[in-house]
Amino acid sequence: MPELPEVEIVRQSLDKKIQKKKVKKVIIRNRNLRIKIPYIFEKFLENKTIVKVSRFSKYLIIHLSDNQFCLIHLGMSGTIHLIDFENKKNFTNLSFYNSPFLPKKHNHIEIIFDKFRIIYNDPRRFGFFQIIKNTKDLKNRFIHLGPEPFNGKFNLKYFKNFIKNKTKTIKDLLIDQKFVSGIGNIYASEILFLSKVNPNKKIKLLSKKECNKIISNSKKVLLDAINKGGSSIRDFKNTDGSKGGFQDSFKVYQREGKNCKRVNCNGKILKKVITNRSTFFCNYCQN
């Protein structure tokens, strides 16, 4: 599943292409995504101008000219493809998983503009498109989610208050979207490595220093990933044919059995399943 950095890269690409463009036509080939696409969706989007594309957590938000919104979540396997009518490129994928080319199957939604079209592909159909009528409804849509790591509210006071009387591990906490929004399995492992915290450590045992490290390193790791174009952990290439580069900086993720990259550490990277998720960490400097 794309995490915050990957969705942010998609947002940047999409915003650059569709901002101030008018939707000419919408074609729905399959309404049965995680949230069924309503039959008014075509009428809702057609003839609207895109003001901008923003993001919260792992959600893309298309701002429309009538002050309404279209919310997009890519789910497990959703990808957005751009087909230019005049300058046909080999690489169409604006997302980070599966083929960089437009697949032949599972192209569920097509949004047509003057000179190009956007196609949403999703084999597993866990993603969705959702109509949001106004700013209040948009705010309420995210009320169950915690702040993003970049938000000033994600601080030590918030951290300590949230974990009070809870017994889960720090790895489980970091991927809990009610605690902090946007961190998934990949970046949780990388954040905890940088913080020298064992992913299996109970949150009630965390010191103030460790909490502060996790807060600051959450920002650092995600920002670094965004700057490097996200993580291409399969065969993703963007529309220019260039891959995200953060996977080349992985310290622990998918490095099971390899030597720790930390200077003067003689440890090995181990893999452990915590709450049905593969977790990677150093057996020495994260003990």
Residue 31 banded pLDDT, cuts 50, 70, 90: very high
Give residue 191's pLDDT: 97
Rounded to 5°, angle at Cα 20 from 15 and 21: 90
Tell me the pTM.
0.89
Work out the average pLDDT over 22-46. Answer: 97
What is the per-residue pLDDT across 157-193, written as a single tens digit (0 to 9) for each?
999 999 999 999 999 999 999 999 999 999 999 999 9
Give residue 228's pLDDT: 76
Bridge partners (DSSP) of residue 49 are 22
Topology agreement, domain 4-141 and domain 156-282: no
Give residue 233's pLDDT: 39
Range with lowest mean pLDDT among 154-158, 167-171, 197-201, 246-250 = 246-250
Asked if residue 241 has pLDDT above 50, the reply is no
Per the prediction, the chain carries an average pLDDT of: 90
What is the per-residue pLDDT across 86-140, written as a single tens digit (0 to 9) for each?
877 777 877 655 567 888 999 999 999 999 999 999 999 999 999 999 999 999 9
How is domain 4-141 classified at the CATH fold level?
Answer: N-terminal domain of MutM-like DNA repair proteins (3.20.190)
Active site residue 147: no
Give residue 36's pLDDT: 97
91 or 146: which leads in pLDDT: 146
Strands 128-132 and 116-121: unpaired
95 or 147: which leads in pLDDT: 147
Query: 254 is written with which tokens?
Result: 């998918």
280: helix, coil or strand?
Answer: strand
Range with lowest mean pLDDT among 94-98, 143-147, 242-246, 247-251 = 242-246
Residue with tokens 């181990």: 270
Q: Are 93 and 101 in contact (CB under 8 A)?
A: yes
Q: Are 214 and 170 in contact (CB under 8 A)?
A: yes
Give residue 51's pLDDT: 98
Q: What is the spatial distance between Cα 285 and Cα 263, in angstroms, rounded to a whole number?
A: 10
Bridge partners (DSSP) of residue 109 are 28, 120
- Burial group, residue 79, by CB count within 10 angstroms (0-12, 13-18, 19+): buried
Distance of CA 243 to the CA centre of its chain: 16
User: H or E element: which one contains 54?
Assistant: strand 50-56
111 contact partners, CB below 8 Å, separation of at least 6: 23, 25, 26, 45, 117, 118, 119, 120
Work out the average pLDDT over 203-217. Answer: 97
Catalytic residue among 2, 5, 149, 199: 2
Active site residue 166: no
Domain boundaries, the chain: 4-141, 156-282
Asked if residue 238 has pLDDT above 60, the reply is no
If one counts every other C-beta atom within 10 angstroms of the C-beta of residue 262, the result is 17
Give residue 38's pLDDT: 96
Catalytic residue among 11, 48, 55, 58: 58
Bridge partners (DSSP) of residue 272 are 279
Options 1.10.510.10, 3.40.50.300, 1.20.1250.20, 1.10.8.50; CATH for 156-282 is 1.10.8.50
Percent of the chain with pLDDT over 70: 91
| Farthest-apart Cα atoms in the chain, separation | 61
Bridge partners (DSSP) of residue 82 are 118
Active site residue 277: yes
Active site residue 104: no
Catalytic residue among 52, 202, 268, 277: 277
Query: 21 is written with which tokens?
Result: 């463009």
Query: 222 is written with which tokens?
Result: 């995600």
Work out the average pLDDT over 251-275. Answer: 93
Q: How far, in Å, are 10, 123, 125, 180, 183 from residue 2 at the CA level?
A: 10, 15, 14, 16, 10
Residue 244 banded pLDDT, cuts 50, 70, 90: very low
